[in-house]
Amino acid sequence: MIGELDEVEVITLFVADVPAAKAFYQEVFGLPVVHEDADSAVVRLRNLLLNLLVADQAPGLVAPAPVAAPGTGVRALLTVKVADVEAVCARLAEHGVKLLNGPVDQPWGRRTAAFADPSGHVWEVAQDLP
């Protein structure tokens, strides 16, 4: 086992429209922008950075693997633990965010709901059930 692979620092999301993605994460998540240039915006989620990178710049990071085309299906689910899924869903609705599913009690002991950002990245909010 490699001992240094124990902390995620940055998640890079390939986006079609950096200003729209940045606005979504600022308005819905309330995240501050910590870096911005012509091709990306980086927002901070506590000790994690989300790099919102315009998709046409992605090949240089993942080559020789191809970058998946928009609309070809969900490739990841990013989960945020919350205390009250219902309350978070109500706040999402205030921002015009439509849920993909939920809130629903899952058999593994969590109440969850999922939604997507403007580029189709799917987020889940999850609350531990008693």
Task: Write the pLDDT tens digit of every residue in 69-111.
Answer: 888 888 789 999 999 999 999 999 999 999 999 999 999 999 9
Task: Work out the number of other CB atoms within 10 angstroms of the CB of residue 81.
Answer: 10
CATH number listed for the domain at residues 75-130: 3.10.180.10
Task: Work out the number of other CB atoms within 10 angstroms of the CB of residue 84.
Answer: 12
What pLDDT, on the 0 to 100 scale, is given for residue 2? 64
Instruction: Give me the long-range contacts of 71-75 (CB less than 8 A, separation at least 24).
Output: 71/120, 74/120, 74/122
State pLDDT tens for residues 21-79.
Answer: 999 999 999 999 999 999 999 999 999 999 999 999 998 888 888 888 888 888 789 99
Q: Is the dihedral of CA 98, 12, 72, 85 positive or negative?
A: negative
DSSP secondary-structure letter at 97? P
pTM of the shown model: 0.85
> CATH says 9-58 is which class?
alpha beta
In the chain, residues under CATH classification 3.10.180.10 are 9-58, 75-130
> Which has more pLDDT, 127 or 2?
127
